Amino acid sequence: MDFIRSMLPLEGWKAGAAVILSQFLASYIVNAHSYQHLHNLHRLFQPWRWEREGRIYEDLFHIRGWKDYVPSISHFNKKTLDGNLSAEYLSRYVLESIRAELCHDLSIIFGLLLCLAAEGATDRRILLYLALLNLPCIMIQRYNRPRFERILNRPRKDGRSGIVEFWLDEDGSEIQEEGERS
C-alpha cells in the first residue's frame, strides 16, 4: 500500500479531481458498449434472491418515494414510458438500465482503487462520495429492471417473450442508426 501511495500520492483536491475523472472514464467505457454487448452481459445483472425482484429496496429504503428525484444524465428518455409498453422500448429500457448499473459499478471500483493511493482522511471522503453518488443509482436500477423484465417475459402476440433483439438485422448483423451506439 505504501508503494502505491509513493507512486501516486493523492490528497486534497488531487484526490477529488482523480475520483471525478474516474467517473467520466467509467461513463466513457460503458457508453462504448453496443446493445448486443449489453444483452450478453444481461445474465450478470439478474436479481439476487434476497432482492425479491427489487421489492427489498421498497421495504428497506422506500425507493418509490425518492427515486424520481435522482438526476439522470442518460441519453435514454425514460419520460416517454407513459403508455409506451412496446417490447422494443422495454427492451431498450432494460439494456440501458444494465448500462447505468455497470457505469456506477465501475465508478465504485475505480474509486476504491484510488482509495489505495489516497492519504488519511481523503480515502474516507472518497468512500463517502462513492456511496452517496453511486449506491442510490444502483438501487434504482435493481429495483426497476425486474419489473420491466416481468412485462417483457409475458408472451407477446408473436408468441415470443423476453428482450427483443431490435438492434439486429434479419441476417443477424447489428443495425447502425444515426445517433445510436454501435
pLDDT tens readout for residues 106-130: 999 998 888 777 766 677 788 898 9
- Would you place residue 56 in the very low, low, confident or very high pLDDT band (cuts 50, 70, 90)? very high
The residue with greater pLDDT, 7 or 78, is 78
CA 111 – CA 100 distance, rounded (Å): 17
Q: Please report the pLDDT score of residue 13 as a whole number.
A: 72
State the cell numbers at 16.
477529488
Query: How many degrees, rounded to 5, is the angle at CA 34 between CA 167 and CA 111?
Result: 150
Percent of the chain, pLDDT > 70? 79
Per DSSP, the three-state class of 118 is strand
The values of phi and psi at residue 112, to 5°, are -65, -35
| Mean pLDDT rounded to a whole number for the chain | 83
pLDDT at 54 over 80: yes
Out of 7-11, 32-36, 63-67, 156-160, which region has the weakest mean confidence (pLDDT)? Answer: 7-11
CA 168 – CA 77 distance, rounded (Å): 21
Domain boundaries, the chain: 2-152
pLDDT at 181 over 70: no
Q: What is the mean pLDDT of residues 9-26?
A: 81
If you ran DSSP here, which 8-state letter would residue 51 be given?
G
Q: Please report the pLDDT score of residue 177 as a whole number.
A: 44
pLDDT at 176 over 60: no
Q: Are 135 and 3 in contact (CB under 8 A)?
A: no
- Would you place residue 1 in the very low, low, confident or very high pLDDT band (cuts 50, 70, 90)? low
Q: Please report the pLDDT score of residue 180 as a whole number.
A: 46
62: left (phi > 0), else alpha (psi -120 to 50), else beta? left
The residues, ordered by sequence, that sit 6+ positions from 120 with a Cβ below 8 Å of its Cβ are 11
Q: Please report the pLDDT score of residue 103 as a whole number.
A: 96
- Would you place residue 174 in the very low, low, confident or very high pLDDT band (cuts 50, 70, 90)? low
Q: How many other C-beta atoms lie within 10 A of the C-beta of residue 137?
A: 18
CA 100 – CA 88 distance, rounded (Å): 18
